[in-house]
């Protein structure tokens, strides 16, 4: 009888960013500016790489993939956040909530794996320069890129399926500004041990494995750079790795903070998550543009036709 009186949840209410009452307009303008810059920056990098044949190399092929990920990642939560701030509409359908969970973990996992593949690419380029084009041929690059997308889709499908096969028949208020696994499963009226265990394992295992592989790649790269006799070669090697290392730090730093400290207070968790979702996708193209002469040359070529 108790089950019959429960109402099955068909939509959720996102509480949004805490302690921002009266600041909605400023936040709306700020997030809109970040979002537009993200779209413009990543589309410019994507277009420049496609247009300039000199950039048709494995490194820039993976950078194209990263730009696509950043375009998608910024679009998962920001549009809904903008609507919430401007129109005060905080409801999200069950399907919309499922989409946010799926694409957040799909694209997050893809970026994690892409960073690992890009570290391997740099390792081959610096440690095995004479065999670089043989090892990183287009077939290998296509397999590595496709593997990141396919693996991530399975990863996200498992997490989303486990999250939304749970019954939601109580409160519909998500104490967050978007739908993620842990804020959502708190509302389930069933035992959530399995989904929490699987989520902690998957979300922790994938980034940790990727980070260790990246670390191993850069240990080998550092050893090769130290052995280089030419200062010019050392400078060029460091320059090609600096952009990627910066992106890795911006990605793995906040992830480590969020998912190794699940009890992190909202005072720290919300700004950290906003940085991941809104700021980082905009910073990636800026980092690669400022540090890379070839990309800047491609931009000038586009500008002058």
Instruction: Give the span between the Cα atoms of 279 and 282, in whole angstroms.
Output: 5
Confidence label for 75 from pLDDT (cuts 50, 70 and 90): very high
Find, among 208, 4, 189, 179, the residue nearest to 99 by Cα: 179
Least confident range of 1-5, 140-144, 182-186, 237-241: 1-5
∠ CA 222-224-228 to the nearest 5 degrees?
115
Residues with Cβ < 8 Å from 261, sequence gap 6 or more?
none
Strands 173-174 and 11-14: parallel
What CATH architecture is 11-299?
A: Up-down Bundle (1.20)
Find the helix packing angle between 266-274 and 231-260, rounded to 10°: 140
Question: What pLDDT, in 10s, does the model give residues 267-291?
Answer: 677 888 888 888 888 888 888 776 6
Q: What angle do CA 81, 87, 89 make, to 5 degrees?
A: 65
How many Å is the Cα radius of gyration of the chain?
21
pTM reported for the whole predicted model: 0.89
CA quadruple 273, 288, 67, 131: dihedral sign: negative
Per-residue confidence (pLDDT) for residue 266, from 0 to 100? 58
* Average pLDDT of the segment spanning 234-243: 80
Domain ranges of the chain: 11-299
Tell me the per-residue pLDDT of 140-174, one tens digit each, with 9 for 90 and over.
999 999 999 999 999 999 999 989 988 888 788 98
| Of the listed ranges 48-62, 221-235, 251-265, 268-282, the one predicted with least confidence | 251-265
- Measured in Å, how far apart are the chain's first and last C-alpha atoms? 72
Distance from C-alpha of 11 to C-alpha of 235, rounded to nearest angstrom = 55
* Partner residues linked to 13 by β-bridges: 91, 173
Pick the residue with more confidence: 35 or 225? 35
Distance CA 252, CA 259 (A): 10
Instruction: Dump pLDDT digits (tens) for 104-124.
Output: 999 999 999 999 999 999 999
Alpha carbon distances (Å) from 35 to 15, 22, 41, 114 = 21, 21, 10, 22
What percent of the chain is modeled with pLDDT above 90? 41
pLDDT at 236 over 90: no
- Dump pLDDT digits (tens) for 206-219: 888 898 999 999 99
Residue 261: which of 155, 156, 182 has the closest Cα? Answer: 182
pLDDT-based confidence at 35, cuts 50/70/90? very high
Tokens standing for 137? 């041929």
- Average confidence (pLDDT) over 182-186: 87
Query: Which tokens go with 11?
Result: 């939509």
pLDDT band at 264 (very low <50, low <70, confident <90, very high): low
Which span out of 183-187, 249-253, 270-274 was modeled with the highest average pLDDT? 183-187
């Amino acid at each position: 009888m108790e089950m019959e009186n429960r109402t099955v949840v068909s939509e959720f209410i996102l509480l949004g960013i805490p302690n921002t009452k009266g600041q909605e307009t400023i936040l709306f303008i700020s997030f809109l500016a970040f979002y537009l810059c993200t779209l413009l920056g990543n589309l410019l990098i994507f277009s420049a790489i496609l247009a300039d044949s000199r950039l048709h190399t494995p490194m820039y092929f993976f950078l194209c993939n990263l730009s696509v990920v950043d375009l998608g990642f910024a679009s998962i939560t920001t549009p809904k956040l903008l609507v919430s701030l401007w129109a005060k509409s905080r409801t999200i359908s069950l399907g919309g909530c499922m989409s946010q969970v799926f694409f957040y973990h799909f694209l997050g996992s893809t970026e994690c794996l892409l960073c690992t593949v890009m570290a391997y690419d740099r390792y081959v380029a610096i440690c095995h320069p004479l065999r670089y084009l043989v090892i990183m041929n287009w077939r290998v690059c296509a397999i590595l890129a496709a593997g990141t997308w396919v693996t991530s889709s399975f990863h996200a499908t498992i997490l989303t399926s486990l999250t939304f096969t749970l019954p939601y028949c109580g409160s519909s208020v998500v104490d967050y500004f978007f739908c993620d696994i842990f804020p959502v499963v708190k509302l389930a009226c069933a035992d959530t041990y399995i989904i929490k265990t699987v989520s902690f394992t998957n979300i922790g295992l994938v980034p940790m494995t990727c980070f260790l592989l990246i670390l191993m790649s850069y240990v080998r790269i550092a050893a090769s750079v130290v052995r280089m006799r030419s200062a010019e070669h050392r400078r060029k090697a460091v320059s090609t790795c600096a952009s990627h290392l910066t992106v890795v730090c911006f990605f793995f730093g906040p992830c480590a903070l969020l998912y190794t400290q699940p009890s992190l207070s909202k005072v720290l968790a919300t700004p950290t998550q906003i940085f991941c979702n809104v700021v980082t996708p905009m910073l990636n193209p800026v980092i690669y543009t400022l540090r890379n002469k070839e990309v800047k040359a491609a931009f000038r070529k586009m500008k002058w036709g």
